[in-house]
Amino acid sequence: MQPQEQQEAYVRRLGVVSSHLAESASTPLARQPVAAASVKRDDDVVIVCALRSAICKAKRGSFKDTHWTTLLGDVVKGVVQQSGVNPADIEDIQVGTALAAGGGASEARMATLVAGIPHTSSLATTNRQCSSGLQAFANIAASIRAGYIKVGMAAGVESMSTHNFDNGVGKLNEALFANKEAADCLLPMGITSENVAAEFGVTRADQDKFAFESQAKAARAQQAGLFKDEIIPLTVSIKDKDGNASQITVDKDDGIRATTLEGLQKLRPAFKKDGTTTAGNSSQVSDGAAAVIAMTRAEANKRGLKILGKFHSYAVVGVPPYVMGIGPAYAIPVAVKQAGLTIDDIDVFEINEAFASQALYSARKCNIPESKVNPNGGAIALGHPLGCTGARQIATLIHQLRRTKTRYGVVSMCIGTGMGAAGVFEAEF
């Protein structure tokens, strides 16, 4: 059996294994919004388009030879075309990226110009590590609410094939290490996962089960074509092992791994000899891009654009760096309260699965039913291109809410150095 056939067979098999998840998602309780729709106002910040590229495995996947500016530019171009928004009307663009040298501002500007955005539109990059894509959206939303702009775009992008973590860290001041919390900011992320698991009692069995379910949900969603509406197909060049280049069109996430629960249980700890965090219950390093166009409701109505959703609130909180993964447990309640809602009002939580330990702990801490967490899988299955992830999650969330006729959703993630971010969104139909 060829590799592609093996992957397809795996997806079909895993879809059957996870059918119980599909059944629970189709119950009346899961499909009926708990809270009433919010009041619509002309100055609401609304989303008229939210799309992404496929997410591909770093160094081995379909985007391994694609420059991050190509990913960004092609997604920006695709979002503008699908939205029907005149690119000249986009007043500001914020791009989240974590690893680009020098913050990537010049290259991102160049990429959007190539994509057809006129020079009259402005651009900045932002780096809040794993929340950079969500932070980019929050920056645009804040500018719209403040009246600085009426129409903006938020994007996120990362090529972990061509960049490594050294790109994002310059020469360090040795004096900083005299402070323990400052020193903890540079702990390997896998060690912070081990700290969360040990301190809060998240067992290896719990982590492996969570990871398997992420893979199962993602496989089922991919098999059912649930990601098609949010993915922009990109045609890129890829080199084979002999260096020969060919053109391929990428329209599917390629990080879903052929695994079983038993297979996950056999993996050795990746970061600590007697630890519980493995390659199988951690997020994948990946390449991808996503973009969201936002504006006031009045502007959307004036242009006759379909409104996909409304932005409610955003919160960032700090947590101890040595357990940075617990950030969502503290950011989610703040953002939900700001939106005038309760945890029970939220239909879907897109919590980034940096590690199963921290995602599972965060859901438990907030008393979130696991059935509401990442219904189509998360970063363990799909991958985690750092700067892209927040924008990718917005696209996934909005399309999931609209498809299932549910109303409120949360996007959240932990952030290296000890933070958590969360945003609350509402689908419109």
**Residues ≥6 apart with Cβ < 8 Å to 282:** 190, 193, 270, 354, 355, 356, 380
C-beta separation of 413 from 354 below 8 A: yes
CB 395 within 8 A of CB 376: no
Cβ atoms within 10 Å of 294's Cβ, excluding its own: 27
Catalytic residue numbers read 130, 384, 414
The number of C-alpha atoms within 13 Å of 410 and in the hemisphere containing its C-beta is 34
Q: CB–CB of 46/297 below 8 Å?
A: yes
DSSP code for 238: E
Contacts of 355 (CB under 8 A, 6+ apart): 189, 190, 193, 196, 207, 277, 281, 282, 283, 325
**Amino acid at position 129, single letter:** Q
58, 160 Cβ separation under 8 angstroms? yes
Q: Which residues pair with 421 in a beta bridge?
A: 316, 413
Angle, alpha carbons 411-327-167 (nearest 5°): 85
How many whole angstroms separate alpha carbon 194 and alpha carbon 281?
12
* Helices 204-223 + 356-365 axis angle, to 10: 90
How deeply is 83 buried, as exposed, middle or buried, from its count of CB atoms within 10 A (0-12, 13-18, 19+)? buried
3-class secondary structure, 301: helix
